[in-house]
Amino acid sequence: NAGVTQTPKFQVLKTGQSMTLQCAQDMNHNSMYWYRQDPGMGLRLIYYSASEGTTDKGEVPNGYNVSRLNKREFSLRLESAAPSQTSVYFCASSGGSANTGELFFGEGSRLTVL
């Protein structure tokens, strides 16, 4: 049982390049989330998907797009990366048979934009 898996774990981009962060969960959860964490700060919600087929903006959605590909997978895309998007990105999921609203997080994807 892998839980929440994120790829890649590390990535360096040049300004203007695009990339997609992948996230998959094997817990049959309904909801999935993307957070970012800047140095010394708490996590901020970028986008979330309450259920398959739906996505909604979080606190800091500008510069990002998401796709809920199926129940398992939720991807985050940066169309034109900027240095301000240098951060650690965390994917999370919630919602199962014993759902208490608890979030399960992946190990993070560390992105540097030069």
Partner 1 sequence: DAKTTQPTSMDCAEGRAANLPCNHSTISGNEYVYWYRQIHSQGPQYIIHGLKNNETNEMASLIITEDRKSSTLILPHATLRDTAVYYCIVRSPFTGTASKLTFGTGTRLQVTL
Torsion of CA 82, 69, 8, 48, to 10 degrees: 60
Shortest distance in whole angstroms from residue 12 CB to partner 1: 17
> Max CA-CA distance within the chain?
43
User: How many other C-beta atoms lie within 10 A of the C-beta of residue 20?
Assistant: 14
Asked if 2 interacts with partner 1 (CB under 8 A), we say no
One of 79, 107, 112, 114 touching partner 1 (CB under 8 A): 107
Size of the site for partner 1 (CB under 8 A): 32
Find out whether the peptide bond into 8 is cis, omega within 30 degrees of 0.
yes
- Report if residue 28 touches partner 1, rule: CB under 8 A: no
Residue with smaller CB distance to partner 1, 13 or 35: 35
* Residue 90 binding partner 1, by CB under 8 A: yes
Q: Residue 19 in 3-state DSSP?
A: strand
Q: Which stretch binds partner 1 (CB under 8 A): 7-15, 18-26, 79-87, 104-112?
A: 104-112
